[in-house]
Amino acid sequence: MLVNYLVEYGQSLFFLVKEMAPYLLLGFIIAGLLNEFLPQKSIYKFLKKKNLKSSINAAIVGVPLPLCSCGVIPTGISFYKSGASKGATTSFLISTPQTGIDSVMATTSLLGLPFALIRVVVAFVSGIIGGSITNVFDKDPNSKIAESKNQTVSTTSTKKRVYRAFHYAFVEFFEDIAKWLVIGLLIAALFSVVIPNNFFEQYLTNTSLDIPVILLASIPLYVCATGSVPIAAVLLAKGISPGAAFVFLMAGPATNAGTITVISKYLGKKTTLIYLGSIIGTAIITGYLINQVFPTDLLKIPASITSQEHHQNRFYSIIEIISTIFLIALIIRAAYSKLFRKSLPKTKKETGIMKKTIKVKGMSCNHCKSSVEKTLSGMEGITNVDVLLQEEQVVLSGEKINLKEVEKKIEGIGFEYAGEE
């Protein structure tokens, strides 16, 4: 009995990985190219005004970016500190974590193109709604616009930039989401084995109730946009309504306790309520509309996602096999990097060089690491910045290190300065 469950679990897990792998790898490549070639500094001027256009611009920028709800915080706060309006910042913070080019590809692979398109449109619309309401009801008293400085044109060769794009896609970015992607896949495979077929149709027959139930479960949880896809796919296959599955895809990635705390600290309680209200309100309305308006057969995935016969008889293409092997290799490499990466040496005294190790809380991904390094590297007197994510430490080197200024910079991008080690 146990052996049968394990075999079925392995088959379901492999099916999910195989279905997502080609789309995910393509999504990672596009994400890397966006990260390298999208001129972030020039974006500020499109976000500074307190009007509808700035909120729309912020949503346009945010929807394709592959940033999770933790990684989006330093970017959003950086935009705000650099002169973006509070409405545009709110729009960016709402629209970005809900989706991204990688999660759109993953959604297309498991849930179909209509579901993926709806996800993009709703992320875009909810961001605009939140930004517009913020501009009306929570006006930013700080009208001063900070202009971006040192916007020099990159002289790096195209070949090197393409290399950096692929390095970001398959090393930095993949390490950020690998943990949550694996967790999502493992949970989804477990649900496919443990939950009986049509379980939700039998025990949660009222589709008007499954949406608020899923919403309540999604808000406090953290699951990235990509990692939420296999879970939603299996829940959908087990009988949950398409609208409830969509609510999970929207609310899970966009809301968690850490994000809410930081937004409240830097943008205020009123903006935080608007942020949550926009996400929750849009998710509920869209969920019910999906259940009532859209054809079920257009959105619902085949029940064969959990069919043992389907797994046994399925022909796997060369592209699927290669993509699956490559994706598994990336996961193994990311796990090895996380588990066995050596810490940098503690503070050492060197002739003419001062070194200090500080504690910084709230860093959880490579994007957080990059934000801290870029912010502190630009300070006068600091020549080198090494971020240790697992230890929550930052090692600073330089001829002169002003910890009070360092604290302001750290707090300014949404992290917590916890003193010198």
- Place 222 in a pLDDT band, splitting at 50, 70 and 90: low
Q: Which of 91, 105, 36 is nearest to 59 (CA)?
A: 91
pTM of the model: 0.71
- Place 66 in a pLDDT band, splitting at 50, 70 and 90: confident
Please give the pLDDT value at position 182.
87
Please give the pLDDT value at position 308.
46
Contact 399, 354 (CB under 8 A): yes
Percentage of the chain exceeding pLDDT 70: 81
- 229-275 pLDDT tens trace: 888 888 888 888 888 889 988 887 877 666 777 788 778 889 889 99
Please give the pLDDT value at position 266.
78
- Sign of the dihedral through C-alpha 280, 284, 290, 291: positive
- Place 127 in a pLDDT band, splitting at 50, 70 and 90: very high
**Structure-model confidence comparison of residues 323 and 173, the more confident one:** 323
Q: Domain 354-420 belongs to what topology? A: Alpha-Beta Plaits (3.30.70)
- Residues listed for the chain: 421
Please give the pLDDT value at position 274.
92
3-state secondary structure of 35: helix
What letter represents residue 230's amino acid?
Answer: P
- Place 326 in a pLDDT band, splitting at 50, 70 and 90: very high
72-81, 160-169, 296-305: least confidently modelled range? 296-305
- Place 72 in a pLDDT band, splitting at 50, 70 and 90: confident
List, by residue range, all CATH 3.30.70.100 domains of the chain.
354-420
| Res 380 pLDDT > 70 | yes
- 20-38 pLDDT tens trace: 888 888 878 887 887 778 7
Mean pLDDT of 324-338: 89
Please give the pLDDT value at position 217.
77
Please give the pLDDT value at position 277.
92
Contact 12, 306 (CB under 8 A): yes
Strand-pairing partners, residue 28, are none
- Place 146 in a pLDDT band, splitting at 50, 70 and 90: very low
Cβ-proximal residues to 212 (8 Å cutoff; 6+ apart), any chain:
284
| Res 40 pLDDT > 80 | no
- 86-96 pLDDT tens trace: 899 899 999 98
Mean pLDDT of 317-337: 89
Instruction: Count other C-beta atoms under 10 Å from residue 370's C-beta.
Output: 17
Please give the pLDDT value at position 175.
82
| Res 141 pLDDT > 80 | no
- Place 207 in a pLDDT band, splitting at 50, 70 and 90: low
3-state secondary structure of 205: coil
Percentage of the chain exceeding pLDDT 90: 12
Contact 91, 281 (CB under 8 A): no
For the chain, the average pLDDT equals: 79
**Structure-model confidence comparison of residues 75 and 189, the more confident one:** 189
Please give the pLDDT value at position 258.
66
